[in-house]
């Protein structure tokens, strides 16, 4: 390659120069909240033996994935707010894009594994101990993380050969619309599976008593809410990538960072407040 790859700068951050310290404080506070909320629920699940069940193990994996995704963004972002000339190397930019899209695809695959767990629990309760044993849980977690890692890794390797047409990033982190379009193929099957599982659960719930419906909806509501919220924020990311350069920069920045703020903050709050076992442990802790 016959051009400098060490001088990719953030156009958006240059425009925020006047208020960079304010944005640093806000971003640092949000990141700290994300770490505390997610880590708090993770510690509760890991330390309470009664919570060592498939549903809570998947919740822990989902929260770990949230910590992974935000850690890719926030430390670099905070450093750039304090830098006189924020920027990133080409290799660092590709690595950041790889981590971000791996986080996104892993989120959907983990949500699909959780949907399967709820489907077996509600629709096949007698077979649940056999179908959702620890071996099955380990295999599902391996697939949920290994498949996105390989898929996005291949896409990033292919884009590494492409030449840059400019050195200004419109947003506050690295992305690639070609990867977005191709990774959408990886996201589509888990989304369909989640919708199908929820539909089967709904049919099973309608055929049972009010008490059964109440308990089933109590465990499914957090999962459904988080699936919808992450899907909506992911759609914003896709729309933002597609319309890049055609919307005001401040709007583009908000849309691009939304899926790195809302889901990681909502996930532990929803699971902590809606699942009685976790809520009970939180109340005991305080």
Q: Please state, rounded to an integer, the average pLDDT across all residues of the chain.
A: 82
**Count of domains observed in the chain:** 1
Instruction: List CB contacts of 211: < 8 A, sequence separation 6 or more.
Output: none
CATH number at residue 15: 1.20.1070.10
> Is residue 1 included in any domain, yes or no?
no
> Is residue 200 included in any domain, yes or no?
yes
pLDDT in tens, 205-239: 888 777 777 877 777 888 888 898 888 878 777 77
Residue 168 structural domain: 8-285
Residue with the larger pLDDT of the pair 14 and 229: 229
Gyration radius (Cα) of the chain, Å: 20
> Is residue 111 included in any domain, yes or no?
yes
How far is residue 56 from each of residues 86, 95, 269, measured CA to CA in Å?
40, 30, 14
What sign for the dihedral angle of Cα 275, 281, 284, 286? negative
What is residue 145's predicted lDDT score, i.e. its pLDDT? 92
> Is residue 3 included in any domain, yes or no?
no
> Is residue 178 included in any domain, yes or no?
yes
pLDDT in tens, 55-95: 999 999 999 999 999 998 899 888 888 877 777 888 888 88
What is residue 4's predicted lDDT score, i.e. its pLDDT? 42
Residue with the larger pLDDT of the pair 157 and 137: 137
Indicate whether 1 pLDDT > 60: no
* Environment class of 166 (CB within 10 Å of its CB; exposed 0-12, middle 13-18, buried 19+): exposed
pLDDT in tens, 73-83: 899 888 888 87
Distance CA 153, CA 168 (A): 24
> Is residue 2 included in any domain, yes or no?
no
The C-alpha angle with vertex 140 and arms to 134 and 143, in degrees rounded to 5, equals 145
Helix, strand and coil in the chain, % to nearest 5: 80, 0, 15
> Is residue 229 included in any domain, yes or no?
yes
> Is residue 117 included in any domain, yes or no?
yes
């Amino acid at each position: 390659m016959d051009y400098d790859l060490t001088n990719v700068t953030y156009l958006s951050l240059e425009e925020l120069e006047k208020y960079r310290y304010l944005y640093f404080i806000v971003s640092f506070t949000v990141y700290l909240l994300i770490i505390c909320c997610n880590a708090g629920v993770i510690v509760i699940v890991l330390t309470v033996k009664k919570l060592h069940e498939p549903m809570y193990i998947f919740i822990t994996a989902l929260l770990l994935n949230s910590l992974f995704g935000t850690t890719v963004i926030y430390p670099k972002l905070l450093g750039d707010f304090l830098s006189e000339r924020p920027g990133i190397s080409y290799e660092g930019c590709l690595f950041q894009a790889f981590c971000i899209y791996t986080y996104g695809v892993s989120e959907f695959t983990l949500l699909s594994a959780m949907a399967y767990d709820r489907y077996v629990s509600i629709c096949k309760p007698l077979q649940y101990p056999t179908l959702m044993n620890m071996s099955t849980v380990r295999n599902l977690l391996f697939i949920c993380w290994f498949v996105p890692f390989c898929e996005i890794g291949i896409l990033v390797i292919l884009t590494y050969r492409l030449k840059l047409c400019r050195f200004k990033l419109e947003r506050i982190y690295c992305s690639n619309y070609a990867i977005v379009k191709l990774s959408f193929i990886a996201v589509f099957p888990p989304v369909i599976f989640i919708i199908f599982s929820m539909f089967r659960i709904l049919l099973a719930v309608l055929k049972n008593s009010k008490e059964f419906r109440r308990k089933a909806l109590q465990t499914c509501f957090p999962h459904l809410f988080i699936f919808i919220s992450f899907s909506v924020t992911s759609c914003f990311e896709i729309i933002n990538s597609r319309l890049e350069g055609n919307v005001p920069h401040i709007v583009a920045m908000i849309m691009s960072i939304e899926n790195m703020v809302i889901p990681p903050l909502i996930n532990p709050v929803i699971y902590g407040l809606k699942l009685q076992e976790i809520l009970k442990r939180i109340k005991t802790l305080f």
